[in-house]
Chains A and B, each alone.
Chain A
Amino acid sequence: MTTVLSHAPMGAHYTKKKEAGLPVSIQGSGEAALAAKAAGASDAAQILSLTGVTKTFGATRALDGFTATIDKGEFVTVVGPSGCGKSTLFNIVAGLEEPDPGCAMRFEGNSVIAADLLGRVSFMPQRDLLLPWRTVIDNAILALEVEGAPRKEARALAEKMLPEFGLTGFGQQYPHQLSGGMRQRVALMRTFLFKRDLMLLDEPFGALDALTRTMMQRWLLDVWQKHQRTILFITHDVDEALFLGDRVLVMSARPGKVKLEQKVDLPRPRPAEIVISPEFIRLKRTLLEAIEEEAMKSFTAEGK
């Protein structure tokens, strides 16, 4: 039971149970958690639900009936072969693009269209997209500034966050003076400072070397646990998807839909060695099989 509790995603899920005045004994609340799960994710627990999301560009169908729900406080990773419509999915959830008519999207319990999501989820694109004329601090507070927060307060807030993002002493530097890993952390800091419950991270570590990448993954888990946000994370790296996620969604080759949904029952906090545990390997095999099949499909499709 205790283990179940420690895996349980944090955030609303967890707090709700407490508010309901359930017994504080570990035994009792563990049962309650299971009961809540069994009752099916209620609307309140879901932050985002997508039903049959389809997107067509001219003659190309990028997404075809993508259906998924994300619970509050969850860390969900999305893997798929290149060109499977992952980025299109993110653009829709970020509110940048409208899906084709006929799909249903719910956000924080309300039915929404994509444009409603502009300014309501914090989105981090693949490239860091830091503004070269702004210092680290001023890049980090960009979203706050857009929201109309006073610069001085926003800067003070960002200044306090520098150590947590490994940027102590770099606040007044310009992006071109930083390494790739640091730039990525500035971009993440900008995303975290834009305080929204749902964060979309599009292959944030894709451009980093393997060592830096592992460090960043562990660091991200720490930060996520401290800040209690919901994260939807795109990657093409199966190890990364398993190491980070509570759940992994494997996407099919284009047109993209959910091919496989895999729960990751690995205990948290996850040590680096977990990637060589038998359980991890078993999950990895399942995922790789599913992805392999799709990668072959998109490979042969391209060859046509």
Chain B
Amino acid sequence: MSAPQSSRALQRGALGMVLLVLAWEGVARGFNLPAYTLPSVSAILGSIFDHRTTLFLAGAYTFAEAFSGYVIGAVIGIALAVVITLIPMTRNAIVPVATSINSVPVVAWSPLILLWFGIGMPSKVVMVALAVSFTVFLSALAGLDRVDRRSVDLMRSFGAGRLAILFRLRLPTALPLIAAGLRVSTVRAVIVAIVTEMLGAYDGLGWVIYQAVLQVDFVKVWSAIFIASAASLAFFGLVGLAERRLVFWK
């Protein structure tokens, strides 16, 4: 994408955002909606300011879980795909197991994971890693499989072994798909971390949301959602930026 195009997309996005906020504010004020139905944006922003320390700490906590789970999951996903590529006969063992684990929503595993890893941070990290690893695994496998047979033959004719072919050809060829999988996984990581927190945690945005619901403080629920969404978008944007740098030839 060229620079003027991307800045125009940015302008349109910002304009849409402003219109949405204005409409929201108008509806909430105009119809004098109660806060548990839809608080006004200004009220939510005010609440974010009031609870800034709590929200910031909770956000940092959740992001720490999401990020560490994300890194672990990404490493596992890519490693599994590489193992299958290097030892083709492992494909029929790994793919069905990975698919069956992921054939139910990840959240379905949370009671067991909470039981095994406790209410603290580790259970969230495991849940995020579980969710991320599968997405990254599938995209990495698709990327590694996409390698041109003739390019492999060319490398072989140079006397290259499997490892040389992996690092000089297969992984770079798979990089665009791996990067796309990593980008999509960012949002998934934050979602899974928050949902798992809502099911049992000592801290984090999910926990804040859960507590606020018990206290019937819906403005606070909304402010936690805003923070989560902002963190998610920033994470997505950063990984997307890194992707464009890394996959410069596409």
Q: Judging by beta carbons under 8 Å apart, are A176 and B151 in contact? A: no
Q: How far apart sit A125 and B160, CA to CA, in the bound complex (Å)?
A: 16
Query: What 1/0 mask marks residues of chain B from 134 to 166 whose CB sits below 8 Å from any chain A CB?
Result: 000000000000001011011111111000100
Judge whether A96 and B156 touch: CB under 8 Å: yes
Question: How far in angstroms is the closest Cβ of chain B from A193?
Answer: 10
B172 adjacent to A96 (CB under 8 Å): no
Contact residues on B (Cβ < 8 Å of other chain), bracket: 10 to 19
User: Of A125, A129, A146, A176, which contacts B159 at CB under 8 A?
Assistant: A146
Q: Which of B150, B156, B159, B175 is in CB contact (< 8 Å) with A147?
A: B159
C-alpha gap A176/B248 in the complex (Å): 11
Cβ contacts under 8 Å, B172 to chain A: 131, 133
Q: Within 8 Å of chain A (Cβ to Cβ): is B31?
A: no
Q: Contacts A125-B150, A127-B150 given: A119-B157 contact, CB under 8 Å?
A: yes
Q: Mark A106-126, 1 if CB is under 8 A from B, else 0.
A: 000000000000111111010
The answer to whether A118 and B169 touch across the interface, beta carbons within 8 angstroms, is no
The DSSP consensus for interface residues of chain B is helix
User: A167 in the interface, Cβ–Cβ < 8 Å?
Assistant: no
Verify if B116 is at the interface (C-beta below 8 Å from A): no
A95 and B150 contacting across the interface, CB-CB below 8 Å: no
Residues of B within 8 A of A142 (CB): 155, 158, 168
Whether B164 pairs with A146 at a CB distance below 8 angstroms is yes
> Which B residues, 90 to 142, have Cβ-Cβ distances below 8 Å to chain A?
none
B178 to chain A, nearest CB (A): 13
In the bound complex, do residue B164 and residue A125 qualify as a contact, i.e. CB atoms below 8 Å apart?
Answer: no
Question: Separation in Å of the A265 CB from the closest CB of chain B?
Answer: 33
Report the interface size class on chain A: 20 to 34
Complex contact B249–A147 (CB within 8 A) = no
> Can you list, as one digit per residue, whether each of A272-304 has a CB less than 8 Å from chain B (1) or not (0)?
000000000000000000000000000000000
Of all chain A residues, the one with the shortest Cβ separation from B247 is: A133
CB of A132 within 8 Å of the partner chain: yes
CB < 8 Å neighbour of B160 from A96, A120, A146: A146
**Contact between B157 and A95 (Cβ–Cβ < 8 Å)?**
yes
Look across to chain A and name the residue whose beta carbon is closest to the beta carbon of B157: A123
Q: A118-B159, A133-B172, A146-B164 are in contact. Are A176 and B249 (CB under 8 A)?
A: yes
Q: In chain A, what residue has the closest Cβ to B172? A: A133
Residues of A within 8 A of B151 (CB): 129, 131
| Docked complex Cα distance between A17 and B201 (Å) | 87
Q: Choose among B154, B157, B168 the residue with the greatest number of A CB atoms under 10 Å from its CB.
A: B157
Q: Roughly how many angstroms separate A127 CA and B158 CA in the complex, as a whole number? A: 16
- Docked complex Cα distance between A14 and B58 (Å): 81
Separation in Å of the B181 CB from the closest CB of chain A? 18
Instruction: Give every chain A residue within 8 A of B160 (Cβ-Cβ).
Output: 146
Q: Is A244 on the interface with B (CB-CB < 8 A)? A: no
Give Cα distance in the complex from A142 to B38, angstroms.
61
CB distance from A229 to the nearest CB of B (A): 15
B249/A129 in contact, CB under 8 A:
no
Q: Does A224 contact B (CB under 8 A)?
A: no
What residues of B have a CB within 8 angstroms of the CB of A96 in the complex?
153, 156-157
Which residues of B have CB within 8 Å of A120?
A: 159
A129-B148 contact in complex given A94-B157, A118-B157, A176-B249, C-beta closer than 8 Å: yes
**Top 4 closest pairs, chain A to chain B, by CB:** A119-B159, A123-B157, A132-B249, A143-B158
A-B contact pairs, 16 of them (CB 8 A): A91-B153, A95-B157, A118-B159, A121-B157, A123-B157, A125-B150, A127-B150, A129-B151, A129-B154, A131-B168, A131-B172, A133-B172, A133-B248, A146-B158, A147-B158, A194-B158
Interface residues of B (CB under 8 A from A): 148, 150-151, 153-160, 164, 168-169, 172, 175, 248-249
A binding-site residues for B, Cβ under 8 Å: 91, 94-96, 118-123, 125, 127, 129, 131-133, 142-143, 145-147, 174, 176, 194
